[in-house]
Amino acid sequence: MNIRPTIIPMMTLALLILTGATLPLAAQGEANRAVRDAALTITAEQLLRDVGHLASDELRGRLTPSPGLDSARAFVARRLDSLGVRPMGDDGSYFQWYTVRTAALDSSTTIASVGSRTFRYGDDLVVTSLVELGSRDGEVVYLGSGLRAPKIGLDPYQSVDVRGKWILVHGLNAFPSGITRETLGTPGVDYTTVMDEARSRGALGLLAIPTPGVMNGWDGLRRRAVTGRDLDPAVGRAYSAYPLPRVSIAPSLLETILAGSGVTAADLLSADSTGEFPAPFVGGRLRIDLNGSVGSFRAANVVGMIPGRDKSVEDEWIAVVSHLDGAVGRGVTPDGDSIYNAADDNASGSAGNLSVAAAMMSGPRPRRSVLLVWDSGEEVGLWGTRHLAYGPLSDRVVAMINVDMIGGTKAPGAAIPGEEDLAGPGEVHVAGPGPLSTVLRQHVDAALQHYGFVTARREFDEPASQFFYPRTDAAPFLENGIPVVQFFTGLHPRYHRQTDETSTLDPAKMEQVSRQVYVTTWHIADGAERPRWDQPVPDKLWFVTPRR
């Protein structure tokens, strides 16, 4: 019997796609070919043009906030508008605004007092970090290192209530005798730091007993300008500014606080080197007036939507995220270059995201909608993604794909310091799906096998990696229980330097990775099953409740 092959006319295929119907096998093949064709519209030439604009000297690195970032934001919005991407920002625009609050300490009017005795800033105390100004008045509780590790019998909070009190400790690197960082175990699981405990228990702030090193550098500390800033409201954990003031106190103030406790300043100063800390006790009452000026500014993410074709899954979005801002430092190279162009980090990923948007608009629509995000504030505190991931727009996001630094290539056989983890020709690092989601991992693997635009390296696809959490824009999504996939080519000596320029990028690599990001996104968005965080929660994310 001669069986003619099943032929699905393109009009029929389009109808099936538009209605969200399940495609027969032959039609699936046609859809895959259409997706591949759309991927092939992503070209190195267009990517290089976009990176060249975003990383130009005129935009001066795109610091948050800056006129250069404003220009980059407008550039992305114009492109989305020309493509017909739906605006998803505020008031029908592409811009999702957020507020950052700022504080600047005035050392000349900041004072401390114990009873009727007054202590001067710079002579008796220095502030090492703060976010909020104002007066804080309460008893001082000494807690040794402030570490809490109940599994090994270390819990100084068991006998004292620190709410509304100052916590006096030996410093963030002080350990009781016989205990090391290694013996403590996993942070957040086996032990918590004084910073964690002070925040969660409602303490006023942290007072640090000065080490010899701190006293040697005291003159520098007293002259240092103290400022703070953070997202308002200050949602999220990763790279959020610590909310409580941290203050180093001189022996003069320490002695006064300890008066009547039976412990002297000399006792605590010597205990710092031995780890033989006294038991917790309550000292005197301390008031610190943190005076200065406050302010705020606004910044914005660029957000657009490509609606999916299937109304039955319209509440399941796939977010593709790239940070648009750059890390802008100070200094001039020997050849006079003072501009941190931030080409690879992350004009490359931002251009890649634009190419994904164009391919999505030109190719077949997947079942689920795709949320496209160019966030700001990544380099200074993950502001943009913290605002988005903790806001209502993320309620429908079921998976996040992060595209950050996709233009680097390690030459075969090269042994350049700083390029140890840089991906080679045709390679990209993939992190996130393995420890989190079976469905995501399957889609990532299938797209790699079926299309093969790149080869994946997996050494960072495990929770211990800093690139898994908390170092990237994926962190706020992970904190909200949303599984992630991250594409990046790795660090290099140009990272966060003036030499991160367009001319140093590999256009072919950007093309390969962008094509792979597109096809991966398409198949995740088109899958029969929504991505779910079905794997055990990694220890370092102990506080997360996955969206299952």
Residue with tokens 């001669």: 2
Residues 34-99+297-538, CATH architecture: 3-Layer(aba) Sandwich (3.40)
In this prediction, residues 12-19 reach a mean pLDDT of 43
Indicate if the pLDDT at residue 428 is higher than 80.
Answer: yes
In this prediction, residues 444-457 reach a mean pLDDT of 97
pLDDT at 179: 92
Q: How does residue 187 score in pLDDT terms, banded at 50, 70 and 90?
A: confident
pLDDT in tens, 125-180: 999 999 999 999 999 999 999 999 999 999 999 999 999 999 999 987 789 999 98
Give the 3-state secondary structure of residue 320.
Answer: strand
**Residues 349 and 403: beta-carbon distance below 8 Å:** yes
pLDDT in tens, 286-339: 999 999 999 999 999 999 999 999 999 999 999 999 999 999 999 999 999 999
d(C-alpha 68, C-alpha 65), whole Å: 8
d(C-alpha 347, C-alpha 284), whole Å: 54
For 27, counting Cβ atoms within 10 Å of its Cβ (0-12 exposed, 13-18 middle, 19+ buried), the class is middle
Q: Work out the number of other CB atoms within 10 angstroms of the CB of residue 3.
A: 5
What the block records as the tokens of 269 is 């100063």
pLDDT at 1: 40
Indicate if the pLDDT at residue 474 is higher than 90.
Answer: yes
Q: How does residue 31 score in pLDDT terms, banded at 50, 70 and 90?
A: low
What the block records as the tokens of 544 is 């997360």
pLDDT in tens, 248-271: 999 999 999 999 999 999 999 999
Query: What average pLDDT does the structure give for the chain?
Result: 94
**Residues 238 and 470: beta-carbon distance below 8 Å:** yes
pLDDT at 232: 98
Q: Work out the number of other CB atoms within 10 angstroms of the CB of residue 391.
A: 14
Domain boundaries, the chain: 34-99+297-538, 107-290
For domain 107-290, is the CATH number 3.50.50.60? no
Rounded to the nearest 5 percent, the helix, strand and coil shares of the chain are: 35, 20, 45
